[in-house]
A and B are shown apart, each in its own frame.
Chain A
């Protein structure tokens, strides 16, 4: 495909002590919902600051719709909805005031679609922002970013502070944006968030690109921890002996499964030894990728 919406070539910005981004290159095509994954401090926000034209690249090129992000920031932003990672809404405004202010800066009179978004997110925008909870502020930020149906959405940690129900609403909103052909870049340190919304994702570690893969492929590398509880420690130890890398502690057995292909076998093992309880834990991105790369290195 040609004419990518987002194009980053050899972007480098060194903040010293290993912080920053280094020789980053990737592109996002029109209509993609692109996940930008990485632990805190991996360089996600730094990359987004470049995309928004807040800072100039020290080396490399950053372009949106084929135009330089810094030089043409003003014009480009007509087509971009942006949600900052650090919200920093002007505290003296009400939610509605902030929405009107954002619409005004964009030169719109009509805020009807903002009302619709607020309704979907169950936001009462009349309170002053300084009295809002973190989650409510996040909703105000989302309304400001999504209103007016921009062609490109750049969302930095969009669901932070939202409860699970609102996270689902957010997934729905991204689905709508995708349906109308918008391109989305969404950063997160949570695998699940990206998994639920994105078609492709880049993984960033310590400012460098670790992988850019379709979601399906990344999902296979994701691992989960399963904890079984057995009747007594002996049973737990016996079951652990039959599973690679499994660990028994007292009556509890902890096993890891990557990608889910061997899950039926693990469940069968648990059943065979008469498991009384089963807990599942998603690994953090860092843990799961650490494991993923370890495995690759061994092969």
Chain B
């Protein structure tokens, strides 16, 4: 890894990171404050009125505990979509833009093997995802303890967040791989982002209607089930599978980057 390049990455990443972090904090605050064990019933009624709409956004079951409530309203969709925006932006700034603008020539002309160059940028993206997840986790703990002391089941909440981390790492790794492998750098962001959005849509469709249930098998989001994690009924191997796949894709991206032609 190159410290100089990591510092450059940090300099281009902090602004969008802070903005997305702030938006996430706002949602975390608003959604957590809406939790009311007594009011669960009225939400249940709304959900019965339009079940498909709620199901599409991963809000099939309002849940009675705070962890389940958060899993339902934040971890099913918002905490996937907003971080995905940041992932796409950072992957573009760390990798795709360098190639697209031709500035990659300056990086390749440095005495850094390509392997180290790609590994540095993968590490930067992965670190940004980890930091964001730590922020989300910390926010959740702070909001929950601030508004409903003692309500949050710590161990289950931890697993919900670890699962989210593994899934977001996988989405980031898919974008990174696309950035390394797609020859046309303008298509690269679209390919990575398009795949991630497609996975998200498939997950939504599969949740909406039983007829589309089979779509579950075409999206890695199936391996992340925040409701099950919040209820303590999840298979933890699924979290490990997400993290493992992320590692493979980061590695594959690096290998392809080392071999490809870069006409800069």
Contact = CB atoms under 8 A, between A and B. Distances in A.
B106 interface: yes
A90 B111 contact: no
Contacts of A181: none
Contacts of B2: 104-105
B5 interface: yes
A86 interface: yes
Contacts of A75: 111, 113
Interface stretch (B81-89, B97-105, B211-219): B97-105
B108 A54 contact: yes
Nearest to B100: A88
B106 A144 contact: yes
B109 A80 contact: yes
Given A73-B113, A75-B111, A105-B110, A49 B103 contact: no
A15 B187 CA distance: 21
Interface in B107-127: 107-114, 116
A243 interface: no
Contacts of A77: 109-112
B110 A102 contact: yes
Contacts, number: 76
Interface in B46-63: none
B233 interface: no
B64 interface: no
A82 interface: yes
Q: Of A53, A74, A92, which is in contact with the most chain B CB atoms at under 10 Å from its CB? A: A74
Q: How large is the interface on A (under 10, 10 to 19, 20 to 34, 35 or more residues)?
A: 20 to 34
Contact of A52 (B101, B102, B108): B108
A139 B30 CA distance: 53
Contacts of A104: 2-4, 7
A101 interface: yes
Nearest to B107: A105
A18 interface: no
Interface stretch (B70-78, B141-149, B256-264): B256-264
Contact of A49 (B3, B112, B116, B264): B264
B263 A54 contact: yes
B102 A54 contact: no
Nearest to A52: B109
Contacts of B5: 105
Contacts of B262: 54-55
Interface of A: 49, 52-56, 73-78, 80, 82, 84, 86, 88-92, 101-102, 104-107, 144
Ranked 6 nearest A-B pairs via Cβ: A104-B4, A74-B113, A88-B102, A105-B110, A55-B261, A82-B109
12 contacts: A49-B263, A76-B111, A77-B109, A86-B105, A88-B105, A89-B106, A90-B103, A102-B106, A104-B3, A104-B4, A105-B2, A105-B4
